[in-house]
Amino acid sequence: MEYYLWIDLETTGLNPNLCEVVEIAAVLTTAEMKIVAEYESLVQTSNRLSWQPAALAMHARNGLIERWSDGEKRHIETVEIGLLRMLDDHGASRAMLAGSSVHFDRGFIRRNMTILDDALHYRHLDVSAITEMMRGLGYELPVSPPSEHRAMSDIKRSISLYRHWREVVGQFAPSAARA
């Protein structure tokens, strides 16, 4: 069976070599988009000074700073083990990484969770790229609330958008013509 590991990371900035993950959410789905498992965690950073001003301001507005300051945090290694266990528990080895602008998240995964990076398929599914293609073809975006820049809500938004595009494109699929 084919699986997608939908991931969204909230970070202290944009550079995976200088910045750190502060929140992660993951949703494991089948290729048919059935949700199999979910994982969510705040992540302990090694250095509060790694926050870039724009990220600090954004996460102060969306409440992540307050939640992160008061909440239980896991070390990135513990988060990686949790994600690997989730994949293993569902026989989802070589799951394809999925999300919006997921190359950004992959950079942090590659830098901080190398075992997970090696376990994932080398390809990834980027909903933002699909959305840009569909927009270029003249399709309108479905109405959805703006991104909260919180990991679980953002990844669920990506899954919803992907389901929308699957439905739009699916009506033109060869299997749809036979139905």
Give catalytic residues, as residue numbers.
122
Alpha carbon distances (Å) from 174 to 12, 99, 148: 45, 26, 37
Tokens 């139905």 label which residue? 179
Can you read off the two tokens belonging to residue 90? Answer: 């569902």
Alpha carbon distances (Å) from 13 to 52, 92, 132, 133, 147: 5, 30, 24, 27, 17
- Give, to the nearest 10 degrees, the angle between helix 151-170 and helix 127-136: 40
Could you tell me which of 6, 38, 28, 33 has the C-alpha nearest to residue 127?
Answer: 6
